[in-house]
Amino acid sequence: MRVSSVCAALLVKYIQQHGEHFTKSDSQLNLSSAYQAKTIRDFDTHIVIPEYGFHDVEHYYTEASSNKWIKYIHTPTLILSANDDPVCPVDGLPIDDVLKNPYIIAIKTLEGGYVSYLQGLWPKAFSYDNIVVVVDYIKARLKQRGVSKD
């Protein structure tokens, strides 16, 4: 929830700084309600829903989701999700569709996601060595194609 509240605060600050763009248009936004947003969901409710004509937040999230495209993936794809991901919760993944698609490998980890799968308590810099599961997947794909012997 902390990430959501920090992001919401940044979005509210942006709207406050650029509010004149919303008041000069024919927008139906209630900016005073938007300024009270404490989560991304609150912000979406007060800004995105009325501005773009969605029925409610669930309608917006369903329409914006890439889940409906899972069945059309025909290229080997790795979906990496973490139980502790604050932005893309693992329960949002359409498991049945993923399991039916032979082109997809889905891996769920206990932690990671959002800002990558960094190793160590305080990683100093990004390195491809830090995203072990992705590197392992790429190595396996290359080996399968006869490109690598590792």
Q: What's the residue count for the chain?
A: 150
For residue 105, give both structure tokens: 């490998």
The per-residue pLDDT for 125 is 59
- For residue 150, is it within any domain? no
Does 129 have pLDDT greater than 60?
Answer: no
Global confidence as pTM:
0.67
Handedness of CA 12, 14, 17, 19 (dihedral sign): negative
For residues 56 and 20, membership in a common domain is answered with yes
Range of the domain at 56: 2-63
The answer on 71 and 59 residing in a single domain is no
**Looking at the domain assignment, is residue 47 inside a domain?**
yes
13 & 29 share domain: yes
User: pLDDT: is 126 or 74 the higher one?
Assistant: 74
Q: Lowest-confidence range among 36-40, 50-54, 121-125? A: 121-125
